Amino acid sequence: MDKHLRMRRNAVFSPFDMREGFVLVFDMDQTITGNYFSMEAKEKLELNPKIVDILKFAMQDKDTGRVSAIFLLTNNTDTEFIQHMEEELEKAVGMGKIFDYKMDANHPARTHMPEYPMIQNGKQKSLADVEFMLLRCNKTIRNLVHRVLFFDDQEHVLSQQLRNAGRPEHFVHVNPPFYKPSEKRRKSGTRKIRAVS
Ligand SMILES: [Mg+2]
């Protein structure tokens, strides 16, 4: 594990007023997976290696109660792809079922925010969505805004809500791509062959 990830982990998982446990909320596209829109995505899913590492810690912390729940909150609507991603992610993490609950863009309880019609097709992610998922899992929503860690490549109302609550560091802004082009080529074992004139 690299030094920065360990430092971030220690900062993010510091046990202050967290008796209820952290709630980890993950976006899917460009956060967990990198290549939804490419044709090869279904055969060779590109998983974010840092998210895989974080989930390995989070799954251990779920056993100790330091993490209360792990959720997927995505604006994707392709349920088949979401299921495929979940299976591949579980294989990569290797610690059983990861998500306590998943909400896609078509979930009937998703926050409707007409005041944000131009952002993400009006499908905002908000604290209310996280609250809904926790209640569905029979878990406490006490102190919620201080317990959410939100991983996304884009800003949402939820990231703003965390900031307003004085927890800007609880929004983890993911910046794809996950691999440098050279690493990606090495990883997939393909090589560019230049035409010789
Ligand atoms: Mg995204």
- pLDDT for position 27: 97
Residue 188 located in a structural domain? no
**Centroid of ligand 1 to alpha carbon of 184 (angstroms):** 20
Tokens representing 52 are: 């895989």
pLDDT band at 37 (very low <50, low <70, confident <90, very high): low
Q: Tell me how far apart the alpha carbons of residues 45 and 35 are, in angstroms, rounded to a whole number.
A: 7
For the chain, the C-alpha Rg in angstroms (whole number) is: 18
**Centroid of ligand 1 to alpha carbon of 196 (angstroms):** 40
**Centroid of ligand 1 to alpha carbon of 124 (angstroms):** 12
* pLDDT tens-digit readout, 63-92: 899 999 999 999 999 999 999 999 999 999
Task: Count the Cβ atoms, other than its own, within 10 Å of residue 133.
Answer: 24
Residue 83 located in a structural domain? yes
User: Does the pLDDT of residue 122 top 90, yes or no?
Assistant: no
- pLDDT for position 135: 96
User: Does the pLDDT of residue 190 top 90, yes or no?
Assistant: no
**Centroid of ligand 1 to alpha carbon of 180 (angstroms):** 19
Q: Which domain, by its residues, includes 138?
A: 3-9+23-183
**Centroid of ligand 1 to alpha carbon of 159 (angstroms):** 13
- CATH number, position 86: 3.40.50
User: Does the pLDDT of residue 30 top 70, yes or no?
Assistant: yes
Residue 191 located in a structural domain? no
Residue 141 located in a structural domain? yes
**Centroid of ligand 1 to alpha carbon of 161 (angstroms):** 18
User: Does the pLDDT of residue 155 top 70, yes or no?
Assistant: yes
Q: Tell me how far apart the alpha carbons of residues 66 and 82 are, in angstroms, rounded to a whole number.
A: 26
pLDDT band at 111 (very low <50, low <70, confident <90, very high): confident
**Centroid of ligand 1 to alpha carbon of 197 (angstroms):** 42
